[in-house]
Chains A and B, each alone.
Chain A
Amino acid sequence: MRKFKLITEHKPLDFIFILALLCLFAFGSLMSVVLAANTYKSLKESSDSNFELRTPLSYISMKVRQHDEENAISIVKKEGVDALVLEGLDGDELCQTWIYEYQGSLYEVYLEKNTTFQLEDGLAILPINGLSFSLTDNVLKVQTADHNGKTRSIAISLRTGQGGAAQ
């Protein structure tokens, strides 16, 4: 039977080649990890941006649709901040929902009309990086921004008249 013997001595060239291959392997591993980290970072960035742009718009849009009644939607400046005010009857009480940006968050406060309050009394719903409203010709425009300053806006044409007769 032919037997193989383990030879301990080797040529320097073999050793260098193996070492080079090992270095290549280590470098490849490092590159893979770096690439994976960058990919994950980029995907997270994109996902965060989508969330920051879309979620407040969807939330506000849904709220506006819920309160789309005659003269129930207005924009009011309070403490230097534009707030969207949505009115509606809660039983016999006329109540208001105030939606605004305060200290980097989307805030909402629900209270009886003419109740005195401060912006900090609201409930922080989600972090945002910019929010503005405009209401012209019965079209409510809402604009938000993400952490990179990228903006997105939606226009909501109201079914009922605001500041005039119902359409």
Chain B
Amino acid sequence: MKKNGISRSHLFLIELIVTILFFAFACTVALMVFGKAYELSDNASALNGAVAAVQNAAEANRLESYSDLSKPQPVHFNKDWIVTDLNEADFTLSTELKLEERPAGEMAVWTYTVVDQNQNLIYQLETKKYYPAPLANQDEVD
């Protein structure tokens, strides 16, 4: 015989399904937020390391005399920002050096770029140092 009615268990089941649907939606949002938080935290950590690495490189380059200027080599770092080789690199610091002519000397322009394994840009900085003519032409004078 067919019964025209809703049992208690059916009511509870409907309530539970609605709750679970809501819970699933909330869980999805929460997971997305957690994922984003992880990503932001990693980015902040990488940015901190990158800034320190670039500062070290820039300070070293600042001390270079004109005759010491040479094509900079990329430096590789692991996840703890310790210098390592290319195979174990998580981050790479590339430095580009350009010499620009000025009326009374040359301007050395260094562009520091830090990228991660996937070549995503983490930090970029441009620094300049002016070499007046006597210093810039020292090699020729000598």
Chain A residues near B (Cβ < 8 Å): 2-10, 14-15, 17-18, 21-22, 24-25, 28-29, 32, 35-36, 39, 42-43, 46-47, 49-50, 53-54, 57, 137-139, 150-157
Give Cα A8 to B48, complex, Å: 64
Ranked nearest first, the 7 interchain pairs of A and B with the lowest CB-CB distance are A5-B5, A10-B9, A7-B7, A157-B59, A39-B34, A46-B41, A155-B56
Give Cα A8 to B24, complex, Å: 30
- Flag if A54 contacts B48 (CB, 8 Å): yes
Chain B residues near A (Cβ < 8 Å): 3-10, 12-13, 16-17, 19-20, 23-24, 27, 30-31, 34, 37-38, 41-42, 44-45, 48-49, 52, 55-56, 59-60, 62-63, 80-81
Give Cα A27 to B93, complex, Å: 46
Having A7-B6, A138-B63, one finds 9 other A-B pairs with CB under 8 Å, namely A3-B4, A6-B5, A6-B8, A14-B13, A28-B24, A32-B30, A152-B48, A154-B52, A155-B56
Chain B residues, Cβ within 8 Å of A156:
59
Chain A residues, Cβ within 8 Å of B3:
5, 7
Cβ contact of B45, chosen from A15, A22, A49, A153, cutoff 8 A: A49
